[in-house]
């Protein structure tokens, strides 16, 4: 015995429709997104104090953002440029000073991460296109502890490229690309 042919065809068709819908739904999700991620850090560093109240420019500490693919976490010595004179008795500053004295890097927990199959270059966005850090990272100057505000998904980036639409200056004389090979190669 067995199924009659028309019934098997309907089941196969329904299965194909269900699999296709599931794939489309998953494609729309922010797979791997860490939106809202706000880890505790080894040093209780407040961007609200430094970037907000003191108005220290993001690029003073994250100087790699203008020159390289990665913005980078600043070396502890950058903190000590000020803290060798300011708030030396703070337990958090003493942790930084101990790290500098021992030559041990501070084990910060990364907050923002792109998947390995996507390429992102901070210098193209910061130095070439003049994008403000807050466009992707949110109002960091108000955060006591940094959290991921944007989804950092492909849609997040593509929407920004589509909305900006105007040509960028410097090395890229055209509008931001929405071609797949701009980020995936």
Report yes or no on 62 lying in a domain. yes
CA distance 25 to 22: 5
**DSSP H or E stretch at residue 14:** helix 5-28
Report yes or no on 165 lying in a domain. yes
pLDDT given at position 4: 56
> Tokens 């309907």 label which residue?
10
* Each residue's pLDDT tens digit, 11-54: 656 666 555 545 544 544 445 578 999 999 999 999 999 999 99
pLDDT given at position 114: 86
C-alpha distance from residue 24 to each of 17, 19, 112, 171 (Å): 11, 9, 26, 36
The DSSP string of 78-91 is HHHHHHTTSSTT-H
CA distance 78 to 64: 13
Report yes or no on 173 lying in a domain. yes
* Each residue's pLDDT tens digit, 102-156: 999 999 999 998 888 999 999 999 999 999 999 999 999 999 999 999 999 999 9
- Structural domain total, the chain: 1
Report yes or no on 120 lying in a domain. yes
Report yes or no on 21 lying in a domain. no
Q: Which domain holds residue 156?
A: 34-73+108-182
Report yes or no on 67 lying in a domain. yes
């Amino acid at each position: 015995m067995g199924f009659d042919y028309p019934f098997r065809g309907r089941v196969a068709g329904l299965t194909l429709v269900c699999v296709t819908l599931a794939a489309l739904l998953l494609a729309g999700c922010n797979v791997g997104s860490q939106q809202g991620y706000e880890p505790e850090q080894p040093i209780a560093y407040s961007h609200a104090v430094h970037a907000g109240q003191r108005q220290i420019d993001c690029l003073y500490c994250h100087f790699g953002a203008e020159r390289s693919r990665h913005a980078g976490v600043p070396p502890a010595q950058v903190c000590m440029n000020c803290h060798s004179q300011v708030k030396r008795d703070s337990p958090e500053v003493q942790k930084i000073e101990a790290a500098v004295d021992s030559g041990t890097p501070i084990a910060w927990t990364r907050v923002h991460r792109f998947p390995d199959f996507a390429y992102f270059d901070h210098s193209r966005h910061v130095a070439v296109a003049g994008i403000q850090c807050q466009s992707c990272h949110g109002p960091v100057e108000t955060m006591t502890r940094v959290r991921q505000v944007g989804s950092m998904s492909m849609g997040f980036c593509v929407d920004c490229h589509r909305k900006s639409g105007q040509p960028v200056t410097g090395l890229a004389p055209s509008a931001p690309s929405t071609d797949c090979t701009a980020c995936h190669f």
